[in-house]
Structure 1
Amino acid sequence: MTIHTANLLVELLVEELPPKALPQLGAAFGRVLADSLREQGLAGPGAALTTYATPRRLAAHLTEVAARAQDRAVQLKLMPVSVGLDAHGQPTPALLKKLASLGVDTGDTAQLAARLRRQHDGKAELLYWDSVVPGATLAEGLQKALDEALRRLPIPKVMTYQLADGWRNVHFVRPAHGLVALHGDQVVPVQALGLSAGRTTRGHRFEAARDPIELPHADAYAETLAREGAVLASFEQRRAEIQRQLAAAAARVGGGCRPIDDDALLDEVTALVERPNVLVCQFDPAFLDVPQECLILTMKANQKYFPLLDAQGRLTHRFLVVSNITPADPSAVIGGNERVVRPRLADAKFFFDQDRKRPLESRVLGLAKVVYHNQLGTQGERVERVGAIARAIAARLGGEELVRLADRAALLAKADLLTDMVGEFPELQGTMGRYYALHDGEDPRVAEAIEDHYKPRFAGDALPRGDVGVVLALADKLETLTGLFGIGQLPSGDKDPYALRRHALGVVRMLIERALPLPLPELLDIAVAAFGERIRDPRAALRDFIDDRLAVSLREQGYRPQEVDAVLALRPALLHEVPRRLAAVRAFAALPEADALAAANKRVTNILRKADAAAVAAQVDVALLREPAEQALHQALQSVQPLAEAAYARGDYTDSLRQLAALKAPVDAFFDSVMVNADDAALRANRLALLAALQRAMNRVADLARLAV
């Protein structure tokens, strides 16, 4: 049977959708729709999906969709022959009831018996019923797919509205006003949200050349909307057009200007317009006396503008607006946006001027009235703990000067939380602290640390710039991790409300990338001591958590899981050694002897694990080495171990592991000809001691047994 295929278009016309959710809504709508049609046999695996999303519509275009799915042969297993047929071979009541439940006409039992198929499954002879299930029509299948797509939309918040009949209510993200379903040039009769599908849609609210717009064919959707509706339906195309216009507008301004680079802002603005038109606006240059971070944030967060930076990255007094209309004379639009932004910038200037009337230090006492956590006390208590941790870390990294600066930075680090600017824009905490500290005449290193102690704020973010910032950032993150782990507030699944995973990774990055000679267990001891009796001891769980974040990070960097497991199994105290250990393990794994030695190490580990610790001699007694193979292994170990230890001591982990290659032959010979678990207890204990010495020599850099396949 030949099945007619054509391309399919489905569009849902709605009121303005939430902009931050629009990309996900558009992608989910098309994906679920296509997956459902494929599952029903109405679209093949090669059918190409194109999704569209604008503030007022979600749409999907799918190629080669069948008008009707192919019929399917179905084999239904019924029951054992002994249950389904009586002694005369006629259907039993149990079988007739089963067939009736499947929709089979059971009136003619003779015909039923003829259509039953017997097959042995290896245990018993069973009865089967073979039938053909008609393929779903597109109308049936699309209705099912559309219902599923709407049900599974990742809607951030559902609203309820009433249909035109005044009786029925609909629950959806926004009120829906139109539904299009075209299979080629034919309307597919489906319904959704109280709407019946047709072929008409609507374009831009103000600039459409025609309203409503009739779509002649599924393949004409994007082109017709652009030509007659003044709408760029594709989210990606609209985003690219905005980027192009932003770059062109910045070039017209000249002076090497460029719009601020912000993907999240670009996505949000793309979700706010259907026909983008970028315009250049400006504000009073006097506002540039306010820190540019404040001005940039208020323009981006409140107005969705793109500030313009000069060639040196400094904010200019010009900004770009992405308008949804394209008037012949844009002066009114430009003037309106310039009037709107002025009070926003004036507020920022007012906050900045008011905040500078009080020294940052004068706000520290107020932190004692700000609750940090009901089990961990106030921000003031937290400042004291961070200070204690910072002083201890600074004492280990530097002299009195570093301790003094770290203590001062810790005292002032959270004071800007009580400023008007940070109260209005929490994203500026730390940043404003630096500005106010500099205004108060604080040491620039202290001011820099106040800003940097939140770093790294996100994956790939820069680390603190100076030693004071590193000390304070470590102290702050360790205090957060220790306190919350100490009261049982651990991350669970994908829930991490206190960003503890990010804090742990920040600690890891600073210890490794700055090559800090700070043992992790010692840092945890310092942090726990700062809390006194306020928390339960979280060191074991916290060490596991930090090691887990380190392992995830290393695997993301391209290290094999076996390499990571081999190194981290030894729980190295100094995390900055981990990259060199990993490099050594990778070099060792490339040696011809590596596989055999790793396997031998795993065998040694298993033998020692099963042995009673008391049965292992404290050291090897040379007089009890009876077999030539165990004597040769002991001699080889005596020769190799000093070389490996010397390389390890000077930090050359690659050479330390390379020395172990000489042990392959004697280790192989030992296991080929020596019985470790000898009947003689003294011999057995001595051979176990030899294996323990071998294990210690091989596992200084990493647990090589983890490399065994």
Structure 2
Amino acid sequence: MKQNLLVELFVEELPPKALNKLGEAFSSTLLEVLKSQGLTSETSQVTAYASPRRLAAHISDVVAKAADKSLSHKLMPATVGLDANGKATPALLKKLTALGADESAVSQLKREHDGKADILFLEGTAAGATLSEGLQKALDEALAKLPIPKVMTYQLQDGWTSVNFVRPAHGLVALHGNELIPVSALGLQSGNTTQGHRFEAKVSPVTLRHADHYAEQLQTEGAVIASFAERRAEIVRQLTAAAAKAGPQLTPIQDEALLDEVTALVERPNVLLGQFEDEFLQVPQECLILTMKANQKYFPLLSADGQLSNKFLIVSNISPDDASAVIGGNERVVRPRLADAKFFFDQDRKKTLESRLASLDKVVYHNKLGSQGQRTTRVASIASAIGQQLGGDALASKAAQAARLAKADLVTDMVGEFPELQGIMGRYYAQHEGLDNDVAYAIEDHYKPRFAGDELPRNQVGVVVALADKLETLCGMFGIGQIPSGDKDPFALRRHALGVVRLLIENSLPLTLDTLLNTTFGCFAADVENASTALRSFIYDRLSGSLREQGYSAQEVDAVLALEPQQLADIAKRLEAVKAFAALPEAESLAAANKRVGNILKKAEGDVQASINQALLVEPAEQALAQALASVTPQADAAFAAGDYRSSLQALAALRTPVDAFFDGVMVNAEDPALKANRLGLLASLHQAMNRVADLSRLAG
């Protein structure tokens, strides 16, 4: 008989940032293992529950006993298992014993011919697992596979037995319909009772009547919303309603991670409104928002234009008739936090960023690369060189100034307390000093892009400093051999490489990669190796992955990146040109011919020069190819020089017929050395003409 199954593990408060993942893993593994034992049906579904003090799963259509299974064990050839008299050999008896059978089973063995010989089979029936057996196995596996961030060791009530788990467990429920299923875990025996809210449960303990009544009983009797998703939705609803009451056009800050964490901290949410004194709004709102979110788990309220108000929302775990004490307590707690932020801000502004640079010399960046002060000097030099190339003296001067001051806020009190504000506080302090806004915003933006999809710096000075900062990190780490391997990337070099790629491509910067790398390596001491070759390959690898994620085919990406184009800003145009070329009817034949030409040139002895002696063109087919090249190459080269890569590649379509005719009618490896050399030179000229935009041989099947 099918009934629904409920399993709950009641524990002490679980780590909030891991709660949702723990709940999903617990329930999905239970279903998976029960299904593998035949204890569920095709219609079975699992509902996960996760609250601060429980992990639970409700699984539909679970049977009390799995169906018996017919088994057929292949034993051995009959000639091996039976002697001349048809009696079992020692080998057969040993095999039967291992399977739990004896000599009496010999007469029941089945023979089947496999095309070569008769094979002996032992057939039987395996009893299906009972729910008690199957659930015990599923529970053990679910607990073993939980993605626990950090394991605790605690003792059971006997004072001797130690258990390892994420938090001490105090209760286990296993109900099939209304029937108790006897299982055990973490020193606990299953029952039908659980605990509700610590302070507001109407009944303690809550006696569960049926597996299907779990969520309803917990909510009505235990004052707990067991479902993570439902609890989260209820918090969102209450936040929206409370914000609307707090003032016109006020909205709670959008932060999915904070919402998940708060959902994991409360069992029955109650959103309350608090506020603080207006004087704290003189502090940069990023500081106030961060301290309210990170330290207190509050939701600051913002106006329609994104400005912080002096009001915030508290997600409480209790619902007293008079909430004034709860609100007042939270306001008293947040006030010193905000006062600290105001104090740090006021104190920091008493010193200029310039005056802090000496302190950076005392901050170690890397034992092989020196201090943050030395690093700042390198970044400023790189930024100046890039700025000079992009915008002359004016941009070079601003970029160097911003780069020199970019890390100064690391030694301020505010960033010391809130490291997440690095860059942001540097911008505020720069503006307070009256520095150029281009410089101030570059100080904040030079960390961007910080992650996939992050915005880029908002002005050209910021782009230059961000590029210089990332290049310095990449070159420095590669120069001392700190190259990422496998999953290990402690200095986030993959992220920095993608940042360089995005800065160059999305800003269409006319900078060559090798020049950037050599300029950057030139700013390091002699004991830092110039690893530009390895770093260039690393950057192209990151670029290749990024382009494929954007939807370009592997062939298109390989064709373009095989040439390692120096200006990354051109790559998108090259890819579009290759895509258009690949759609031409001539493309397949030309790609195959290009691959063939490349192979011939690789096998040729010595260097082959791309030159043609017209007097040595004796075959009509090679004459026709030379004439076609002379006609097509200037068109393709002119289009390439103008940046019209599509037209450059499409001009090559006219080469298909003469190329095919050449390979059909001309022997490249002629006996006459002069003819052979000239034909190789003709092919080298063809290869050169065809592979300016991309390596077309990569498009060959």
What's the TM-score bracket when you normalise by the shorter of the two chains? over 0.9
Distance in 2 between the 1:298 and 1:193 partners? 38
Q: TM-score scaled by structure 2?
A: 0.96
Q: 1:531 aligns with which of 519, 524, 534?
A: 524
Closer, same or farther: CA 613–218 of 1 in aligned 2, 3 Å: farther
Question: Once structures 1 and 2 are overlaid, which stretch shifts more, 465-474 or 630-639?
Answer: 630-639
SS at match of 2:522: helix
Between the aligned partners of 1:162 and 1:63, the Cα distance in structure 2 is 35
Q: Does 1:86 align with 2:83?
A: yes
1:369 aligns with 2:362: yes
Offset at 1:617?
A: 5.5
Q: Which residue of 2 aligns with 1:96?
A: 93
SS at match of 2:221: helix
Q: How big is the shift at 1:633?
A: 2.4
Q: Distance in 2 between matches of 1:374 and 1:17?
A: 39
Do 1:417 and 1:423's aligned partners in 2 also have CA atoms closer than 8 Å? yes
Offset, 1:461: 1.3
Shift of 1:232: 1.7
Name the CA distance, whole Å, in 2 between partners of 1:272 and 1:43: 33
**CA deviation string 1:267-301 (max 9, x = no partner):** 11111111111111100010001111110110011
Instruction: State the AA in 1 paired with 2:619.
Output: E
For 1:273, which of 251, 261, 266 is the aligned residue?
Answer: 266
Residues 650-703 of structure 1, C-alpha deviations (whole Å, 9 max, x = no match) = 001111112122222222333333333344443333333222222222211111
User: 1:454 & 1:497 partners in 2: Cα distance?
Assistant: 17
2:226 equivalent among 233, 236, 244: 233
Cα shift at 1:17: 0.2
Which residue among 23, 33, 37 is the counterpart of 2:20?
23
Question: Whole-Å Cα distance in 1 between the matches of residues 45 and 498 of structure 2?
Answer: 40
RMSD: 1.9
AA matched with 1:640: V
Tell me the distance in 1 between the aligned counterparts of 2:124 and 2:494. Answer: 55
Question: Which residue number corresponds to residue 345 of structure 2?
Answer: 352
What is the rounded CA distance, in whole Å, between the counterparts of 2:210 and 2:115 in structure 1? 52
Identity of aligned residues (%): 67
- CA separation of 1:130/1:473 partners in 2, compared to 1, >3 Å: closer, same or farther? same
Residue 442 of structure 1: how far off its partner (Å) = 2.3
Deviations 1:307-339 (A, max 9, x none): 111111111100111111122221111111111
Provide the rounded CA distance (Å) in 2 between the counterparts of 1:667 and 1:67.
Answer: 74
User: 1:180 Cα deviation (Å)?
Assistant: 1.4
Matched, 1:574 2:567: yes
2:620 to 602, 614, 628: 628
Structure 1: distance between partners of 2:605 and 2:65: 71
Q: CA deviation at 1:535?
A: 1.6
Take 2:543 and 2:322, find their aligned partners in 1: how far apart are those partners?
57
Per the alignment, in what secondary structure is the counterpart of residue 10 of structure 1? strand
1:64 aligns with 2:61: yes
> Cα deviations across residues 472-494 of structure 1 (Å, max 9, x unaligned)?
11111111111111222222222
- Provide the C-alpha distance between the structure 1 equivalents of 2:674 and 2:118, rounded to a whole number of angstroms: 64
Give the letter aligned to residue 70 of structure 1. A
- Is 1:165 matched up with 2:154? no
Residue matched to 2:279: 286
Q: For residue 385 of structure 1, what is the amino acid of its counterpart? A: R
| Conserved? CA contact 2:109–2:120, under 8 Å | no
In structure 2, the CA distance between the partners of 1:590 and 1:434, relative to structure 1 (3 Å rule), is same
What is the aligned partner in structure 1 of residue 136 from structure 2? 143
1:447 aligns with 2:444: no
Task: Tell me the distance in 2 between the aligned counterparts of 1:215 and 1:591.
Answer: 70
1:53 correspondence with 2:50: yes
2:597 alignment partner AA: V
**Mapped contact 1:566–1:707 kept (Cα < 8 A):** yes
Task: Find 2:74's aligned residue among 74, 77, 91.
Answer: 77
Please report how far the alpha carbon of residue 175 of structure 1 lies from its aligned counterpart in structure 2 after TM superposition: 1.0
Cα distance in structure 1, aligned partners of 2:44 and 2:633: 63
* Cα deviation digits, residues 43-86 of structure 1 (max 9, x gap): 24553222111111111122222322232333333344444333
Taking the aligned partners of 1:363 and 1:533, their CA distance within structure 2 comes to 28
What amino acid sits opposite 1:440 in the alignment? E
Residue equivalent to 1:682: 674
Give the whole-Å Cα distance in 2 for the aligned partners of 1:60 and 1:708.
53
Read off the aligned partner of 2:62 and give its amino acid letter.
V
Distance 1:501 1:475 in 2: 16
Q: Aligned residue for 1:490?
A: 483
Rate the CA distance shift 1:80–1:609 in 2: closer, same or farther, 3 A. Answer: farther
Q: What letter is aligned with 2:94?
A: K
In structure 1, what residue type is equivalent to 2:554? P
**Conserved 8 A contact 1:51-1:60:** yes
SS at match of 2:523: helix
Aligned to 1:603: 596
Matched, 1:480 2:486: no
Correspondent of 2:147 among 145, 150, 154: 154
Is the Cα–Cα contact under 8 Å of residues 239 and 267 in structure 1 kept in the other structure?
Answer: yes
Q: CA deviation at 1:431?
A: 0.8
Asked if structure 1 preserves the Cα contact closer than 8 Å seen for 2:639 and 2:647, the reply is yes
Corresponding residue pairs, total: 701
2:102: which partner in 1? 105
Question: What does 1:546-625 align with in structure 2 at a 5 Å threshold?
Answer: 546-614=539-607, 616=608, 618-625=610-617
Conserved 8 A contact 2:387-2:399: yes
1:3-32 Cα shifts (integer Å, max 9, x gaps): x32222211111110000111111111121
Residue of structure 1 equivalent to 2:458: 465
The one-letter code sitting in structure 2 at the alignment partner of 1:676 is V
Deviation by residue 1:573-597 (Cα, 9 ceiling, x = unmatched): 0000011111111111222222222
Alpha-carbon distance in 2 for matches of 1:617, 1:513:
38
Letter of the 1:697 partner, please give it: A
Determine if contact 2:610/2:684 at 8 Å carries over to the other structure.
no
User: Quick one: distance in 1 between partners of 2:20 and 2:693?
Assistant: 48
**What does residue 409 of structure 1 align with?**
402
Q: Does 1:36 align with 2:28?
A: no
Amino acid at match of 1:643: Q
From the superposition, tell whether residues 320 and 98 of structure 1 become closer, same or farther in structure 2 (CA, over 3 Å).
Answer: same
One-letter amino acid of the counterpart of residue 243, structure 1: V
Residue 223 of structure 1, aligned match among 212, 216, 223: 216
TM-score between both structures, scaled by the size of structure 1 = 0.95
Name the counterpart of 1:259: 252
Alignment of structure 1 residues 652-671 onto 2, 5 Å: 652-671=644-663
The one-letter code of the counterpart of 1:37 is: L
Q: Which residue of 2 aligns with 1:212?
A: 205
* 1:644 equivalent in structure 2: 636
Q: Which residue of 2 aligns with 1:115?
A: 109
Residue segments in structure 2 that go unaligned for 5+ positions in a row: none
> Partner of 1:400 in structure 2?
393
Q: Structure 1 residues 250 and 661 mapped into 2: Cα distance closer, same or farther (>3 Å)?
A: same
- Paired position in structure 1 for 2:127: 134
Q: Distance in 2 between the 1:449 and 1:70 partners?
A: 69
Helix, strand or coil: the match of 2:552? coil
AA aligned to 2:612 is V
